[in-house]
Amino acid sequence: MKNLLWFLIGVIGGFVAAHFMNKDPRGQEIFADIDARISEFAGVLGEAYRQQEARLAEPADD
């Protein structure tokens, strides 16, 4: 139970810190950079998934 309390305090503290960071222009730049990297990573994963799905959907040439 004690570990859960510390976990919740950490999560809430992170949200509060992110809120204050987002008010600062430098913080907004950092979040924009993080968002761009996450979007790029998600795009790469999505493309790899679509390629694998297309490869598996092709009939086998035996």
- The residues, ordered by sequence, that sit 6+ positions from 22 with a Cβ below 8 Å of its Cβ are 28, 31
CA distance 30 to 33: 5
Mean pLDDT of 39-45: 98
pLDDT score at 58 = 85
Return the structure tokens found at 21. Answer: 């960071």
Q: Which residue in the block uniquely carries the two structure tokens 């996450």?
A: 38
CA distance 51 to 46: 9
Domain residue spans of the chain: 24-54
Residue 3 has pLDDT above 70, yes or no: yes
pLDDT score at 62 = 55
Q: Which residue in the block uniquely carries the two structure tokens 């730049």?
A: 29
